[in-house]
Structure 1
Amino acid sequence: MLLADGETVARYHAHVLRRGPDECWWWTGGLTDTAHGTFRAVSLPGRTRRGTVPAHLFGYRLANGPDSLPPGLVVRHTCDEPPCQNPAHWLAGTRGDNNRDAASRRRLAGHALADVRGAVGRARAVQAAIAAARPEDLDAAIAAALAAGNPSGAHQDALF
Protein backbone atom coordinates (compact mmCIF):
# COMPACT_ATOMS: atom_id res chain seq x y z
CA MET A 1 0.00 0.00 0.00
CA LEU A 2 2.72 2.47 0.93
CA LEU A 3 4.47 1.94 -2.39
CA ALA A 4 1.36 3.29 -4.12
CA ASP A 5 0.94 6.26 -1.77
CA GLY A 6 2.19 9.37 -3.54
CA GLU A 7 2.98 11.25 -0.32
CA THR A 8 5.05 8.37 1.09
CA VAL A 9 6.94 7.94 -2.18
CA ALA A 10 7.59 11.70 -2.36
CA ARG A 11 8.99 11.66 1.21
CA TYR A 12 11.29 8.78 0.26
CA HIS A 13 12.54 10.62 -2.84
CA ALA A 14 13.07 13.80 -0.81
CA HIS A 15 15.84 11.96 1.09
CA VAL A 16 17.62 10.69 -2.04
CA LEU A 17 20.31 12.77 -3.71
CA ARG A 18 20.00 11.56 -7.29
CA ARG A 19 23.07 11.80 -9.44
CA GLY A 20 24.17 10.22 -12.71
CA PRO A 21 22.83 6.79 -13.72
CA ASP A 22 26.07 5.02 -12.76
CA GLU A 23 26.79 7.02 -9.60
CA CYS A 24 25.62 6.36 -6.06
CA TRP A 25 22.41 8.11 -5.09
CA TRP A 26 23.06 9.10 -1.48
CA TRP A 27 20.51 8.73 1.28
CA THR A 28 20.36 11.99 3.24
CA GLY A 29 18.00 10.85 6.01
CA GLY A 30 18.62 8.76 9.10
CA LEU A 31 21.16 5.95 9.17
CA THR A 32 21.36 2.64 11.00
CA ASP A 33 24.54 1.56 12.78
CA THR A 34 25.43 -0.35 9.59
CA ALA A 35 25.07 2.84 7.49
CA HIS A 36 21.90 1.74 5.71
CA GLY A 37 19.27 4.43 5.31
CA THR A 38 16.26 4.28 7.59
CA PHE A 39 12.93 5.51 6.31
CA ARG A 40 9.82 6.20 8.36
CA ALA A 41 7.29 5.03 5.81
CA VAL A 42 4.29 5.62 8.06
CA SER A 43 3.37 6.85 11.51
CA LEU A 44 1.14 4.38 13.29
CA PRO A 45 -1.34 5.14 16.06
CA GLY A 46 0.27 5.44 19.48
CA ARG A 47 3.11 7.55 20.81
CA THR A 48 6.06 5.37 19.86
CA ARG A 49 4.75 3.26 16.98
CA ARG A 50 6.46 4.15 13.76
CA GLY A 51 6.60 2.15 10.57
CA THR A 52 10.35 2.44 9.96
CA VAL A 53 11.90 0.36 7.19
CA PRO A 54 15.36 0.11 5.62
CA ALA A 55 15.38 2.73 2.86
CA HIS A 56 17.02 0.43 0.32
CA LEU A 57 14.29 -2.21 0.83
CA PHE A 58 11.58 0.39 0.31
CA GLY A 59 13.41 1.69 -2.77
CA TYR A 60 14.04 -1.80 -4.15
CA ARG A 61 10.36 -2.68 -3.93
CA LEU A 62 9.40 0.73 -5.32
CA ALA A 63 11.64 0.13 -8.35
CA ASN A 64 10.90 -3.56 -8.87
CA GLY A 65 7.44 -4.19 -7.45
CA PRO A 66 6.11 -5.07 -4.00
CA ASP A 67 6.70 -8.81 -4.39
CA SER A 68 10.12 -8.51 -6.03
CA LEU A 69 12.19 -9.76 -3.10
CA PRO A 70 11.39 -13.38 -2.25
CA PRO A 71 11.70 -14.52 1.37
CA GLY A 72 15.26 -15.36 2.35
CA LEU A 73 16.87 -12.89 -0.06
CA VAL A 74 18.47 -9.56 0.74
CA VAL A 75 19.25 -6.49 -1.34
CA ARG A 76 22.96 -6.38 -2.11
CA HIS A 77 24.71 -3.12 -2.98
CA THR A 78 27.05 -3.76 -5.92
CA CYS A 79 28.72 -0.43 -5.07
CA ASP A 80 29.25 -1.53 -1.44
CA GLU A 81 27.80 1.77 -0.20
CA PRO A 82 24.99 0.91 2.28
CA PRO A 83 23.24 4.30 1.98
CA CYS A 84 23.13 4.11 -1.84
CA GLN A 85 19.62 4.31 -3.29
CA ASN A 86 20.44 3.84 -6.99
CA PRO A 87 18.33 0.90 -8.22
CA ALA A 88 21.05 0.13 -10.79
CA HIS A 89 23.38 -0.70 -7.86
CA TRP A 90 21.04 -3.23 -6.25
CA LEU A 91 20.99 -6.96 -6.73
CA ALA A 92 18.92 -9.55 -4.88
CA GLY A 93 20.84 -12.42 -3.33
CA THR A 94 21.39 -14.44 -0.20
CA ARG A 95 23.18 -13.25 2.93
CA GLY A 96 25.95 -15.66 1.97
CA ASP A 97 26.29 -13.96 -1.43
CA ASN A 98 26.47 -10.60 0.32
CA ASN A 99 29.09 -11.81 2.80
CA ARG A 100 31.22 -13.32 0.00
CA ASP A 101 31.02 -10.05 -1.94
CA ALA A 102 32.24 -8.11 1.08
CA ALA A 103 35.02 -10.57 1.89
CA SER A 104 36.33 -10.44 -1.67
CA ARG A 105 36.47 -6.62 -1.79
CA ARG A 106 37.11 -5.30 1.70
CA ARG A 107 40.89 -5.21 1.31
CA LEU A 108 40.97 -3.43 -2.04
CA ALA A 109 42.90 -0.18 -1.74
CA GLY A 110 40.59 2.81 -1.94
CA HIS A 111 37.45 0.68 -1.80
CA ALA A 112 34.36 1.60 0.24
CA LEU A 113 34.74 -1.49 2.44
CA ALA A 114 38.32 -0.53 3.30
CA ASP A 115 37.38 2.92 4.65
CA VAL A 116 39.09 3.37 8.04
CA ARG A 117 36.02 5.18 9.43
CA GLY A 118 33.81 2.15 8.89
CA ALA A 119 30.60 2.19 6.89
CA VAL A 120 28.66 4.52 9.16
CA GLY A 121 31.57 6.97 9.53
CA ARG A 122 31.91 7.04 5.76
CA ALA A 123 28.17 7.57 5.26
CA ARG A 124 28.04 10.37 7.85
CA ALA A 125 31.01 12.09 6.21
CA VAL A 126 29.27 12.01 2.84
CA GLN A 127 26.05 13.32 4.37
CA ALA A 128 27.94 16.18 6.03
CA ALA A 129 29.68 17.01 2.74
CA ILE A 130 26.33 17.06 0.92
CA ALA A 131 24.79 19.32 3.55
CA ALA A 132 27.71 21.77 3.47
CA ALA A 133 28.39 21.91 -0.27
CA ARG A 134 27.08 24.42 -2.75
CA PRO A 135 25.33 22.71 -5.66
CA GLU A 136 28.18 23.45 -8.06
CA ASP A 137 30.70 21.91 -5.63
CA LEU A 138 28.67 18.83 -4.72
CA ASP A 139 30.60 16.23 -6.74
CA ALA A 140 33.96 17.47 -5.46
CA ALA A 141 32.68 17.56 -1.86
CA ILE A 142 31.43 13.97 -2.09
CA ALA A 143 34.68 12.81 -3.69
CA ALA A 144 36.71 14.49 -0.93
CA ALA A 145 34.55 12.93 1.79
CA LEU A 146 35.00 9.48 0.26
CA ALA A 147 38.75 9.89 -0.22
CA ALA A 148 39.30 11.07 3.35
CA GLY A 149 38.69 7.59 4.75
CA ASN A 150 40.97 5.73 2.38
CA PRO A 151 44.63 6.05 3.21
CA SER A 152 47.34 5.29 0.68
CA GLY A 153 47.64 1.68 -0.37
CA ALA A 154 50.79 1.06 1.70
CA HIS A 155 49.28 2.41 4.89
CA GLN A 156 46.00 0.60 4.25
CA ASP A 157 47.75 -2.77 3.89
CA ALA A 158 49.24 -2.25 7.32
CA LEU A 159 45.74 -1.88 8.78
CA PHE A 160 44.73 -5.42 7.86
Structure 2
Amino acid sequence: MPWAVLLGDQDTVTRYWSHVLRRAADACWFWLGGLTDTGHGTFRAGSHTTGTSRVVPAHLYGYRLAHGVDALAGGLVVRHRCDEPPCQNPAHWLAGSRGDNNRDAAARRHLSGHPLTDVRGAAGRARAVQAAIATAASPDEIEAAIAAALAAGHPGGAHQDALW
Protein backbone atom coordinates (compact mmCIF):
# COMPACT_ATOMS: atom_id res chain seq x y z
CA MET A 1 0.00 0.00 0.00
CA PRO A 2 1.53 3.37 -0.98
CA TRP A 3 0.55 5.07 2.29
CA ALA A 4 3.10 7.89 1.94
CA VAL A 5 1.66 8.81 -1.47
CA LEU A 6 -1.94 8.58 -0.27
CA LEU A 7 -1.26 10.68 2.82
CA GLY A 8 0.80 13.23 0.93
CA ASP A 9 -1.89 14.03 -1.64
CA GLN A 10 -3.66 17.18 -0.41
CA ASP A 11 -6.74 16.55 -2.58
CA THR A 12 -7.13 13.15 -0.91
CA VAL A 13 -6.67 14.63 2.57
CA THR A 14 -9.29 17.31 1.83
CA ARG A 15 -11.69 14.69 0.46
CA TYR A 16 -11.18 12.51 3.56
CA TRP A 17 -12.09 15.37 5.91
CA SER A 18 -15.13 16.25 3.78
CA HIS A 19 -16.62 12.88 4.83
CA VAL A 20 -16.10 13.48 8.57
CA LEU A 21 -18.62 15.25 10.80
CA ARG A 22 -16.31 16.99 13.26
CA ARG A 23 -17.96 17.66 16.59
CA ALA A 24 -16.74 18.50 20.09
CA ALA A 25 -13.22 17.33 20.91
CA ASP A 26 -14.48 14.52 23.17
CA ALA A 27 -17.38 13.44 20.90
CA CYS A 28 -17.33 10.85 18.14
CA TRP A 29 -16.64 12.33 14.71
CA PHE A 30 -18.88 10.23 12.49
CA TRP A 31 -17.92 9.04 9.02
CA LEU A 32 -20.45 10.19 6.40
CA GLY A 33 -19.16 8.14 3.46
CA GLY A 34 -19.42 4.47 2.58
CA LEU A 35 -19.59 1.80 5.27
CA THR A 36 -18.49 -1.81 5.52
CA ASP A 37 -20.67 -4.56 6.95
CA THR A 38 -18.84 -4.02 10.26
CA GLY A 39 -19.79 -0.32 10.40
CA HIS A 40 -16.29 0.97 9.58
CA GLY A 41 -15.92 3.75 7.01
CA THR A 42 -14.51 3.03 3.56
CA PHE A 43 -12.58 5.63 1.63
CA ARG A 44 -11.17 5.81 -1.90
CA ALA A 45 -7.79 7.40 -1.35
CA GLY A 46 -5.48 8.56 -4.10
CA SER A 47 -6.25 9.30 -7.70
CA HIS A 48 -7.31 7.25 -10.71
CA THR A 49 -5.25 9.51 -12.97
CA THR A 50 -2.00 8.79 -11.12
CA GLY A 51 -2.73 5.11 -10.57
CA THR A 52 -2.64 5.44 -6.78
CA SER A 53 -6.36 4.95 -6.17
CA ARG A 54 -7.06 2.47 -3.35
CA VAL A 55 -10.12 1.74 -1.24
CA VAL A 56 -8.96 1.77 2.37
CA PRO A 57 -10.63 1.66 5.78
CA ALA A 58 -11.28 5.29 6.70
CA HIS A 59 -10.01 4.92 10.27
CA LEU A 60 -6.70 3.46 9.03
CA TYR A 61 -6.24 6.40 6.68
CA GLY A 62 -7.17 8.86 9.43
CA TYR A 63 -4.94 7.19 12.01
CA ARG A 64 -1.93 7.36 9.71
CA LEU A 65 -2.82 10.93 8.79
CA ALA A 66 -2.79 11.86 12.49
CA HIS A 67 0.19 9.75 13.60
CA GLY A 68 2.38 9.20 10.55
CA VAL A 69 2.72 6.68 7.78
CA ASP A 70 4.54 4.10 9.95
CA ALA A 71 2.25 4.46 12.97
CA LEU A 72 0.81 0.95 12.67
CA ALA A 73 4.05 -0.92 12.04
CA GLY A 74 4.41 -4.46 13.28
CA GLY A 75 0.84 -5.54 12.61
CA LEU A 76 -0.81 -3.12 15.02
CA VAL A 77 -4.48 -2.29 14.53
CA VAL A 78 -6.55 0.78 15.40
CA ARG A 79 -8.71 0.29 18.48
CA HIS A 80 -11.69 2.59 19.00
CA ARG A 81 -11.86 3.73 22.63
CA CYS A 82 -15.49 4.68 21.98
CA ASP A 83 -16.33 1.34 20.31
CA GLU A 84 -17.96 3.24 17.43
CA PRO A 85 -16.48 1.78 14.21
CA PRO A 86 -17.32 4.83 12.05
CA CYS A 87 -15.67 7.25 14.51
CA GLN A 88 -12.88 9.35 12.98
CA ASN A 89 -11.88 11.34 16.07
CA PRO A 90 -8.11 10.82 16.50
CA ALA A 91 -8.53 11.24 20.27
CA HIS A 92 -10.68 8.08 20.29
CA TRP A 93 -8.06 5.88 18.61
CA LEU A 94 -5.44 3.71 20.22
CA ALA A 95 -2.97 1.40 18.48
CA GLY A 96 -2.76 -2.14 19.76
CA SER A 97 -2.66 -5.78 18.80
CA ARG A 98 -5.61 -7.74 17.44
CA GLY A 99 -5.64 -9.53 20.78
CA ASP A 100 -5.95 -6.20 22.61
CA ASN A 101 -8.85 -5.28 20.34
CA ASN A 102 -10.56 -8.63 20.93
CA ARG A 103 -10.10 -8.32 24.70
CA ASP A 104 -11.60 -4.80 24.57
CA ALA A 105 -14.69 -6.13 22.81
CA ALA A 106 -15.02 -9.14 25.11
CA ALA A 107 -14.82 -6.93 28.19
CA ARG A 108 -17.49 -4.51 26.98
CA ARG A 109 -19.88 -6.34 24.67
CA HIS A 110 -22.29 -7.21 27.48
CA LEU A 111 -22.43 -3.80 29.18
CA SER A 112 -25.97 -2.47 29.18
CA GLY A 113 -26.40 0.47 26.82
CA HIS A 114 -22.93 0.10 25.31
CA PRO A 115 -22.41 0.59 21.54
CA LEU A 116 -21.44 -3.07 21.21
CA THR A 117 -24.88 -4.13 22.51
CA ASP A 118 -26.87 -2.13 19.95
CA VAL A 119 -29.64 -4.39 18.62
CA ARG A 120 -28.98 -3.19 15.05
CA GLY A 121 -25.35 -4.30 15.08
CA ALA A 122 -22.44 -2.01 14.29
CA ALA A 123 -23.35 -1.40 10.65
CA GLY A 124 -27.03 -0.79 11.43
CA ARG A 125 -26.03 1.65 14.17
CA ALA A 126 -23.64 3.47 11.82
CA ARG A 127 -26.26 3.69 9.06
CA ALA A 128 -28.85 5.00 11.54
CA VAL A 129 -26.47 7.75 12.69
CA GLN A 130 -25.68 8.69 9.09
CA ALA A 131 -29.40 8.85 8.24
CA ALA A 132 -30.11 10.97 11.32
CA ILE A 133 -27.37 13.43 10.37
CA ALA A 134 -28.59 13.58 6.77
CA THR A 135 -32.18 14.27 7.77
CA ALA A 136 -31.49 16.82 10.52
CA ALA A 137 -33.29 19.99 9.45
CA SER A 138 -30.48 22.29 10.59
CA PRO A 139 -26.98 22.09 12.05
CA ASP A 140 -28.47 22.91 15.45
CA GLU A 141 -30.56 19.71 15.30
CA ILE A 142 -27.69 17.36 14.47
CA GLU A 143 -26.70 16.59 18.07
CA ALA A 144 -30.28 15.72 19.04
CA ALA A 145 -30.65 13.59 15.90
CA ILE A 146 -27.45 11.68 16.69
CA ALA A 147 -28.52 11.13 20.30
CA ALA A 148 -31.91 9.80 19.18
CA ALA A 149 -30.33 7.48 16.59
CA LEU A 150 -27.91 6.07 19.17
CA ALA A 151 -30.64 5.62 21.78
CA ALA A 152 -32.88 3.77 19.29
CA GLY A 153 -30.49 0.84 19.33
CA HIS A 154 -31.20 0.28 23.02
CA PRO A 155 -35.00 -0.05 23.22
CA GLY A 156 -34.84 -0.54 26.99
CA GLY A 157 -33.38 2.94 27.36
CA ALA A 158 -30.01 1.81 28.72
CA HIS A 159 -27.04 4.13 28.23
CA GLN A 160 -23.34 3.55 28.82
CA ASP A 161 -20.95 6.47 29.12
CA ALA A 162 -17.48 6.27 27.57
CA LEU A 163 -15.15 4.05 29.54
CA TRP A 164 -11.99 6.09 28.99
Structure 2 counterpart of 1:53, from 56, 63, 67: 56
Give the TM-score of the pair, scaled to structure 1.
0.90
* 1:10-58, Cα deviation, whole Å (9 max, x unpaired): 000000000001000000000011110000002446xxx9510000000
Count of residues in Structure 1 that have an aligned counterpart in Structure 2: 151
Q: Does 1:103 align with 2:106?
A: yes
| 5+ residue gaps, structure 1 | 155-160
Runs of 4 or more, structure 1, over 2 Å off, are 42-45
Matched residues in 2 for 1:59 and 1:153: separation? 32
**Among 15, 18, 24, which residue is 2:19 paired with?**
15
Residues 42-88 of structure 1 show CA distances to partners (whole Å, capped at 9, x for unaligned) of 2446xxx9510000000000000111111311000000000000000
Q: TM-score, normalised by structure 2?
A: 0.88
Q: How does 1:149-160 map to 2 (within 5 A)?
A: 149-152=153-156
Aligned to 1:149, what secondary structure does the other structure show? coil
Q: 1:113 aligns with which of 107, 113, 116?
A: 116
| % identical aligned pairs | 72
Match of 1:36 in 2: 40
| Aligned partner of 1:94 among 85, 92, 97 | 97
**Alignment root-mean-square deviation, CA:** 1.5
**How far apart in 2 are the matches of 1:151 and 1:108?**
14
